[in-house]
Amino acid sequence: MEVTSRYPKEHVDIAIVTVSANRLDEACLTSVRTLIEATPLSVTFILVDNASTAIDAHALTKKIFPEAIVILRDKNVGFGRSCNRGAKEVDADYYFFLNPDTRVDDPEVLLKLYRFLKSCPRVGIAAPKILYMDGRLQETCRRFPSWFTPIAQRTSLIKKEKTDEHRRAFLMEDFAHHKRRMVDWVQGSAFMIEAKLFHEIGGFDDRYFMYYEDVDLCRTCWELGRPVYYLPEAILYHAYGKASAKGESTMEKILHNRTTRIHIGSWLKYTLKWMGQKI
């Protein structure tokens, strides 16, 4: 059974939707609280928790955000589906999807993304520059994957020089990340999208439990003529885990790492969905 608060009555410019499953950092909640207090925008924070057992998501959130909307689910239904559930809770102009292991130091991040989207109404998605917690760049804006991208990244079936070349192109390592530009897609760890467009698309495709739902959403935006933008002037930090990459060998990952199997399943779903296009 889900536990949720009431719908807010006032107009909301931005609804921040965060999905957690045993990964909810107090530093993230504190930084978002500071962010909301600093912005002139009307902002509502929504946490969707997928049956966490290691944390009391409701108590932790309410300690920092008494006015937050907290939705407690009785099982883990996946990232995209939970984002969709959170977005249904509030009628906002824009949604900002934010991972629970992030930290926002810049109090104008929301304002920068919001003003950009308001000034460029044909843009579908705007995403910030994301850094690791130690300040190193995360390559979170990327080119669309080919069907063989996971094979090139995770196995030795393709010659190393070819895989290195493909990886550099996929991660856009040739791109100066201090420049604003259109990109194929951005990671779902942090991005803003117009609510009307999000609902028109139908939200994240909930056939993906985790992985590729962000690629799919961005690709759908492009299909509708709504480009995706990377904004380096908006910066936040993310403790990126790469859970599906853990393990000594490809076979070990498949056999023992459930997240790896989920990743493979999402890759197959994405490839089958878009195989009529260039992938």
**Model confidence over 231-260: pLDDT tens digits?**
999 999 999 754 444 455 454 554 456 788
Q: What is the maximum span of the chain, computed from C-alpha positions, in angstroms?
A: 58
- 215 pLDDT higher than 50: yes
CA neighbor of 147 nearest in space, from 160, 166, 164, 173: 166
CA neighbor of 220 nearest in space, from 209, 208, 232: 208
CA neighbor of 20 nearest in space, from 6, 32, 10, 12: 32
- 201 pLDDT higher than 90: yes
Q: Which residue has the higher pLDDT, 116 or 149?
A: 116
d(CA 190, CA 48): 15
Q: What is the mean pLDDT of the chain?
A: 87
Count of CB atoms situated within 10 Å of the CB of 37: 9
- For the segment 119-129, what is each residue's pLDDT rounded down to a tens digit? 999 999 999 99
Q: What is the DSSP string of 145-167?
A: PPTTHHHHHH-SSS-HHHHHHHH
Could you tell me where the DSSP H helices lie in the chain? Answer: 26-38, 57-64, 79-88, 109-119, 149-154, 160-170, 195-201, 213-223, 250-256, 258-274
Buried b / exposed e along 212-225 (16+ C-beta atoms within 10 A): bbbbbbbbbbbeee
Paired residues of 237 in beta bridges: 103, 131
Structure tokens at 128: 């910030």
pTM: 0.87
Q: What pLDDT, on the 0 to 100 scale, is given for residue 164?
A: 75
Treating both helix axes as pointing N-terminal to C-terminal, what angle do 258-274 and 213-223 enclose, rounded to 10 degrees? 20
CA dihedral for 13, 230, 222, 170, sign (positive or negative): negative
Question: Going from the N-terminus, what domains does the chain have, and what CATH number goes with each?
Answer: 12-144+175-243 (3.90.550.10)
Region 1-9: what's the mean pLDDT? 50
Paired residues of 95 in beta bridges: 15, 193
d(CA 186, CA 228): 8
Instruction: Please name the helix (run of DSSP H) or strand (run of DSSP E) that holds residue 125, with its range, or none.
Output: strand 125-131
Instruction: Measure the CA dihedral 255/149/265/215, to 10°.
Output: 140
Q: What pLDDT, on the 0 to 100 scale, is given for residue 174?
A: 86
